[in-house]
Amino acid sequence: MSMLEVQNIHTYYDNIHALKGISLNVNEGEIVTLIGANGAGKSTTLKTISGLTKPREGAVRLHGNPLHTLPAHKIVEQGIIMVPEGRRVFGVLTVSENLEMGAFARNDKQAIAQDLEKVYSLFPRLKERRNQLAGTLSGGEQQMLATGRGLMGRPRVLLLDEPSMGLAPVLVDLIFDTIQQLHKQGTTILLVEQNARMALQVADRGYVLQSGEIVLSDSAENLRANESVQKAYLGIS
């Protein structure tokens, strides 16, 4: 059985039927990516998994336990941690305080300190700036911080929402390097990306979303080779 299972979820924004029966699953240690155009429902899928929006139908399960009945902060305690779109770091806190906030739901002080060191070794840049206010960081550094903050919660599944949004190409490479590094360390990741090319390079499997429905699911390799995917999302004709 896979680790995270999404079964036929329907999510609405008032009357707008945003997700029309999405089903997907993520196995332990995998990187799975959701690609699709603007408004296809990628972010809504992540928000539904993390409990920020509730599905009207369907279920989300972690190791068979239902998540969709829990409020958002309880889902975090289950180990489903989202790095939200647009970073959303706490601008008035320093870098290290932001990282500590990421471990808010945990009580194990020693392990938190260890994880803090791990995050600093993953992003040496954050260590340099640990006493700087997060609001004064550049966009790339804020993305590192948001990712690091997510890792501080010891995620069983890390949900990354558009990590490359608004970043310079060099920084996009850096972020994706980090994702691969996390993958090697065994972190399970569900990645939502506009940048389908990069996403399919790091992912094991992928789902293609189109106006609230999954139209294609396959291994990343096959998706890269798929003609219609190439046309629509990779810009190859």
Partner 1 sequence: MEKYRTAITIGLVGAAITLLFGGWSMILVGTVVGAITGLNYGQHSAKRGALDKAREVLLPALIGNIIMGLGGTLYTFVVVPLTGKSLNYDQPLKLGTGRVPLDSIAVFIIGLAAGIAIGVAVAALIAYLQGLPENVRRVAFIASLIVFLFGLPFFDQVTGLDWIAAIITIQIFILLALGLNIVVGYAGLLDLGYAAFFAIGAYTTGLLSSPQIDIYWNFWLVIWVAAAMAAFAGLVLGAPTLPLRGDYLAIVTLGFGEIIPVVFRNLISVKLVEPFTRICFVGCDPKVDVVRWCIYACQGALDLTAGEKGINPIGRPMIPFTDELLFSSRSYLPWYFLVFGLIVLSIFFIRRLRNSRIGRAWMAIREDELAASQMGIDPVKTKLLAFSMGATFSGFAGAFYGSYISAIFPSVFDFSVSVIILCMVILGGLGNMVGVIIGGILIMGTDRLFLPQIATLLKDFMRHSVLGNVSNPVLKDFLEISVDPNQMRLAIFGLVLVIMMVVRPEGLVPSEERRAELHEGEEEHGDAATEAAA
Stretch that binds partner 1, among 5-13, 32-40, 147-155, 199-207 (CB under 8 A): 147-155
Strand spans (E) along the chain: 4-13, 16-26, 31-36, 57-62, 65-66, 80-83, 157-161, 188-193, 205-210, 213-219
State residue 191 phi and psi, 5-degree precision: -115, 125
* Selected binder of partner 1 within 57, 104, 113, 181 (CB under 8 A): 104
Instruction: Report the candidate in 78, 71, 121 with the shortest Cα–Cα distance to residue 99.
Output: 121
In angstroms, rounded to a whole number, what is the distance separating the alpha carbons of residues 139 and 28?
30
Binding residues with partner 1: total (CB under 8 A): 29
Minimum distance from residue 126 beta carbon to partner 1 (Å): 17
Interface with partner 1 in residues 17-56 (CB under 8 A):
50, 52
Instruction: Report the candidate in 178, 186, 188 with the shortest Cα–Cα distance to residue 2.
Output: 188
Instruction: Give the x-and-dash track for 52-91 against partner 1 (CB under 8 A).
Output: x------------------xxx--xx---xx-x---xxxx
Instruction: Give the x-and-dash track for 205-234 against partner 1 (CB under 8 A).
Output: ------------------------------
Please give the DSSP secondary-structure letter assigned to residue 22: E
Q: How remote is the C-alpha of 136 from its chain's centroid?
A: 24
12 binds partner 1 (CB under 8 A): no
Binding residues vs partner 1 (CB under 8 A): 50, 52, 71-73, 76-77, 81-82, 84, 88-93, 101-102, 104-105, 133, 135-136, 138-139, 149-150, 153, 168
